[in-house]
Amino acid sequence: MWERPEPPDRPVLAPLSRERIVRAAIRLADADGLDAVSLRKVAAALDVGPMRLYGYIATKEELLDLMVDAVHAEIRPAGDGWRAVLYSLAEAIRHAAHQHEWLADLLGGRPQLGPNTLASGEAVAAGMAGVDLDTLVPAIAAVNAYVIGAVRREITERRAERASGMDQRQWQVAFGPYLRRAFATGRFPTLATVVHEGPHLDADDTFRAGLDYVLDGIGARISH
């Protein structure tokens, strides 16, 4: 016994919570993308063994769900009238995806029923009071679908641009030759003229133009 040393000052085992875990995971994902979120890395960021996390989450997918729901805390659409509310919803989701690009990879990929997600759904539904339910339900679904797809593509494009040099149109240098060759085959004549002569909208304009289409269509139904 005299030889046996006292137990080393056990590091004050870090107090854990679902929230702390999720925050750490989000920090990692913001910094280095979704691939950087592994249970081991999250645990390491919290000075904890990997298996410790399983007391708080059952599986990695659950952690991802929690991350998505956490971000939904900042998605609180507001405004007067159905159109303003839906517009606000769309912009809020897009804004969140700009700050957390990994959100684009997760949106729509799993059923979302967390409290924050429900709360933003509640805000939308409440803000659209007065609209006929038979119109409201598919309208919300349509806006959600559009936003998911639009944000996904926008973030994808942003990543591609970033990957091929910092410059915004460096992208054209990377894929330009390939596309030029593809167009030179003559198999895509219409596409070629569209690309050459069509408008070059930036991300903001593209997103809003599409959103306007959706809202206009909904508006036509509402005022029938």
Partner DNA sequence: GTATCTGTCGATACACTGTATCAGTTGCAG
Partner DNA sequence: CTGCAACTGATACAGTGTATCGACAGATAC
Residues that bind DNA (CB under 7 A): 7, 10, 13, 37-41, 48-52, 54-55, 59-61
Q: Can you tell me the distance from the alpha carbon of 25 to that of 22, in angstroms, rounded to the nearest whole number? A: 5
Q: Can you tell me the distance from the alpha carbon of 47 to that of 34, in angstroms, rounded to the nearest whole number? A: 20
If residue 38 lies in a helix (H) or strand (E), which one and from where to where? none
Task: Show the binding pattern over residues 42-81: x = contacts a copy of itself (CB under 8 A), - = does not.
Answer: ----------------------------------------
Q: Is 134 in the site for a copy of itself (CB under 8 A)?
A: yes
Q: Is 83 in the site for a copy of itself (CB under 8 A)?
A: no
If residue 122 lies in a helix (H) or strand (E), which one and from where to where? helix 115-127
Q: Is 169 in the site for a copy of itself (CB under 8 A)?
A: no
Q: Can you tell me the distance from the alpha carbon of 67 to that of 165, in angstroms, rounded to the nearest whole number? A: 30
Say which entry of a copy of itself, DNA, none residue 137 contacts (CB below 5 to 8 A, set by partner kind).
a copy of itself
Shortest distance (Å) from residue 19 CB to DNA:
16
Q: What share of the chain is helix, strand, coil (3-state, %, to 5)?
A: 70, 0, 30
Nearer to DNA, 59 or 168 (CB): 59
- 110: alpha, beta or left? (left if phi > 0; alpha if psi -120 to 50): beta
Task: Compute the Cα dihedral for 143, 144, 145, 148 and give only its sign.
Answer: positive
Task: Provide the binding-site residues for a copy of itself, judged by CB under 8 A.
Answer: 105, 107-111, 113, 115, 118-119, 121-122, 125-126, 129, 133-134, 136-139, 141-142, 144-150, 152-153, 156-157, 160, 175, 178-179, 182, 187-191, 194, 197-199, 201, 205-206, 209-210, 212-218, 220-221
